[in-house]
Amino acid sequence: MSPMTIHAACAASQEEAGGMAARLARFAVDALVEEAHLTPKPALVDRRGSGAHRDLNLAVMMRSAHALEPTFAALARATCGQAPSAMLRTELAAIGRAGEVAMMRATDGSNAHRGAIWIIGLLVAGATICHDVGETWQPRAICELGAQIACFPDFAAVPTDSNGARARARYGAGGARREAQHGFPHVLRAGLPTLQATRRRGDGENAARIDALLSIMTTLDDTCLLHRAGPPALDAARHGAREVLAKGGSASLPGRAALYRLDRTLVALNASPGGAADLLAATLFIDKLVRYGTGGSQHGWNI
């Protein structure tokens, strides 16, 4: 996929490009909304309450998600006609930082979706490039393009002292940055396959999404857990998620009992798997593209 090919392929009218950007932004926001409403999740905000969070609730999560719709649309518009490059990476990062400001304004200063802006924003960009060159929206292609962008330096970046950055420095965890640069392996190898397998088993959409979250949790170095309570929280989350899945998943009675035990354990540790939640939202975003988006198929997909 050469730069010349991509520039030549983006010959659609401004109106068409704007419509595609709006569609991608809508899918992104819908994914964030559906992740937040998904219940029951271990120690995360859901319809039951705030989980292990003191500054977040479902209403705040909704305000954050809807405030980010213009950001996701701007990311798509900026990517149209572009190939992965350091220049594009820097431009998208500037849009993402403006989106963080909008998010913090909507939430009165609470960080609801900082990680999701980065992760889903890169996937929005990857989907835009796929559409530009006339390719169908396949998960691996979208993730690979997002990874290519993530691997370029952001020339306008300044050092930050975020929770994720502190956890990466202290524990050597990769966090959202490494997940993106490595091609979103927890989306491709955990979230999407589990989502599809649970659907095929007939356990229902809610269970499919809960099990996808748990599958991501089993191996993710979640910097949210590490920041809040260190390695004991990460170990508890991984062990508990594996137990739920081993007992038949969240749709089974033993699995549901194990899920509630995991919830109580993580709430007692004041820790929540926020990184896994962001990757579940990314999983739902990709799933929407391929099932319902232009260029995709409603009859399945190939990873």
Per-residue pLDDT of the chain (303 residues; tens, 9 = 90+): 455 454 544 444 566 778 899 999 999 999 999 999 999 999 999 999 999 999 999 999 999 999 999 999 999 999 999 999 999 999 999 999 999 999 999 999 999 999 999 999 999 999 999 998 888 899 999 999 999 999 999 877 666 666 666 766 676 666 789 999 999 999 999 999 999 999 999 999 999 999 999 999 999 999 999 998 999 999 999 999 999 999 999 999 999 999 999 999 999 999 999 999 999 999 999 999 999 876 433 334 444
The verdict on residue 171 lying in a domain is yes
Which pTM does this prediction carry?
0.90
Cα–Cα–Cα angle for 37, 42, 45, rounded to 5 degrees = 40
CB neighbours of 213 closer than 8 A, spacing ≥ 6?
38, 41, 191, 273, 276, 277, 280
The verdict on residue 143 lying in a domain is yes
Give pLDDT, residue 297: 37
Give pLDDT, residue 171: 62
Q: Which domain holds residue 56?
A: 3-292
Give pLDDT, residue 154: 87
The verdict on residue 63 lying in a domain is yes
Crossing angle of helices 253-268 and 223-246, in 10° steps, is 160
The verdict on residue 265 lying in a domain is yes
- Give how many domains the chain has, as a whole number: 1
Give pLDDT, residue 16: 74
Give pLDDT, residue 300: 40
The verdict on residue 298 lying in a domain is no
The verdict on residue 67 lying in a domain is yes
Give pLDDT, residue 293: 77
The verdict on residue 42 lying in a domain is yes
| 280, amino acid identity | L
The verdict on residue 301 lying in a domain is no
